Structure 1
Amino acid sequence: MSKKLIVFIDSGDTLVNEGTEYRNEGSPIVQSCELIDGAKELLLTLKERGYTIELVADGYTQSFDNSYGQHGLKNIFDARTISEEVGEKKPSQAMFETAMKLLHLTDEDKKRIIMVGNNLERDIVGANRFGITSVFIKWSPRYPMEPKNEEEVPDYIIHKPLELLDLVEKLEAELEKTEGTHGEEAVSIRKCI
């Protein structure tokens, strides 16, 4: 049975450890990489539990084909929104609009979407501006960890991929409770813990 909550998720330093990415000399394309501990289990468990998962990431299509193909996860995503194909990078609204179109979602569905990412300036600002729930994975030492302004403040914070499982179950339960309601209750999953 499919779930109400929809998971948009970033790749680099959210699922893939950017410090392990290998590229051929002079090429921007990732040839191979290692996943962050728990990332593969996270994706497989989300899929098994019936969640819709969409990759919303900046980079090159071939890099993602290589990275997820290497780990047997090439077809784990229900859809993929990749900056190379969109022609813009997060926090551009075009990335999130494209992600919604690929899953045939409307503005009414925004209350059901979370964006999980490691980059406050791109993932969190993009989600917050777009009006979807933001989840910051505070894992990577390569990016700032503290918000510089209100737009960078996430709705939720996790520290490793597997922590997302409990959060999505909690948010799914809240969505199920508010099913059929409108207004303020319907957006109750947007709050900090």
Structure 2
Amino acid sequence: MNAEEKELIIFFDCGDTIIDEGTEVRDEHGTVIDGKVIPGADVMVRTLAEHGYRLAIVADGLAQSFKNLLTINGLYDYFEVLIYSEQMKVDKPNPRMFKAAMAAMELDEQDRNRIIMVGNNLSRDVRGANQVGITSVHLNWTTRYPKTSLDALEQPDYSISEPLALVELADRLNAELVSNVKEC
């Protein structure tokens, strides 16, 4: 079942946004070889994909770690694009991470208003999205990272406390985009 493609495009961080970092198991080289999704994250990803949203991973870490985690949890194939700091040679909030995801999805400057970045880290995910003009969504789920903004660039546009809340937010933001397109 594949719904009609939506206007809204969703970029995701992985650790503590989809995968619970507290469950990660690493090999002797530091590559993550196992880990569990945070409650509801697997259902969130599947539901968004089934609703027709284009999904991308924009995450800091090793490509093989994310491939392992997303494959083990049955989520790898839901993502159209996977951008990792290992391949980019920079970490978020560096704009190159977000611009690489946009380029890989054949998006340009005019598409920024259609993209949201969902992440758990204010200084990386939220700051990075805000710096490049992408709507930021803070998944305020973990206690591992600060939950208060240090400055304006770390202030999220939206905040959710659990993954499944993103489905309703995405549908609402997509409806706003669709109505704005019709008005033009």
Give the TM-score taking structure 2 as reference length: 0.96
State the partner residue of 1:190. none
**Partners in 1 of 2:16 and 2:108 — Cα distance?**
29
Residue from 20, 23, 26 that aligns with 2:26: 23
Name the structure 1 match of 2:6: 3
1:1-193 alignment, distance < 5 Å = 1-25=4-28, 27-180=29-182
The alignment covers a number of residue pairs equal to: 181
Task: Write out per-residue CA displacement over residues 112-153 of structure 1, whole angstroms, 9 at most, x where no aligned residue.
Answer: 000000000000000001001000000111100100111110
Segments of 5+ residues of structure 2 without an aligned counterpart are: none
Report the residue type matching 1:6 in the other structure. I
* Aligned-residue identity in percent: 44
Q: How far apart are the structure 1 equivalents of 2:151 and 2:162?
A: 23
Find runs of 4+ consecutive structure 1 residues off by over 2 angstroms: none
**Is the partner of 2:43 in helix, strand or coil?**
helix
Q: State the 1:32 CA deviation.
A: 0.1
Partner deviation per Cα, 1:68-103 (whole Å, 9 max, x = no partner): 111122211011111111111100000011010000
CA distance in 2 between counterparts of 1:10 and 1:41 reads 16
The code of the aligned residue for 2:12 comes to I
3-state SS of paired residue (2:35): strand
- The equivalent of 1:185 in structure 2 is none
Unaligned runs of 5+ in 1: 183-193
Q: Letter of the aligned partner of 1:91 in structure 2? A: P
Alignment TM-score, normalising by the size of structure 1: 0.92
Q: 2: CA distance between counterparts of 1:157 and 1:95?
A: 22
Q: Paired residue for 1:187?
A: none
Give the residue type in structure 2 aligned to 1:13: D
Over aligned residue pairs, what C-alpha RMSD do you find?
Answer: 0.9
Question: SS at 1:75's partner residue?
Answer: helix
Which piece of structure 1 moves more, 93-102 or 69-78?
69-78
